[in-house]
Amino acid sequence: MQARLLDLLRQLVGELGLAAIVVTHDLAVARLLSHRMMVMKGGRVIEAGLTDRVLDDPREPYTQLLVSSILQV
């Protein structure tokens, strides 16, 4: 169900030129759906930028912790 919903969202954004804000704790979903992302802690943005940059080279210790917690397969 989640995969179908994510595919539909990507399709609508692509075909209709829509913008979407997706709030998720799933970094794989964030990477799949977003061009830009923000990382929040305690209700404040602590890091923002292009999704690949934030996930591949996190600058903030909290973001580094989040990224390192993803199981590497």
Residues 6+ apart with CB under 8 A from 35: 50, 51
Global pTM value? 0.81
> How do beta strands 36-41 and 44-50 pair?
antiparallel
pLDDT of residue 3: 85
Answer whether residue 8 is part of any domain: no
* SS3 annotation, 37-69: EEEEECCEEEEEEEHHHHHHCCCCHHHHHHHHC
- One digit per residue, the tens of pLDDT, for the chain of length 73 reads 788 988 998 898 889 988 889 999 999 999 988 999 999 999 999 999 999 999 999 999 999 999 998 865 4
Structural domain contains residue 36: yes
Q: Quick check: is 46 in a domain?
A: yes
Q: Is 37 part of a structural domain of the chain?
A: yes
Domain span including residue 71: 20-73
Q: Is residue 4 part of a domain?
A: no
Other C-beta atoms closer than 10 Å to the C-beta of 37 total 21
Total tally of structural domains belonging to the chain? 1
Indicate whether 10 belongs to any domain: no
d(CA 24, CA 16): 23
Per-residue model confidence (pLDDT) at position 58: 96
Is 28 among the domain residues?
A: yes
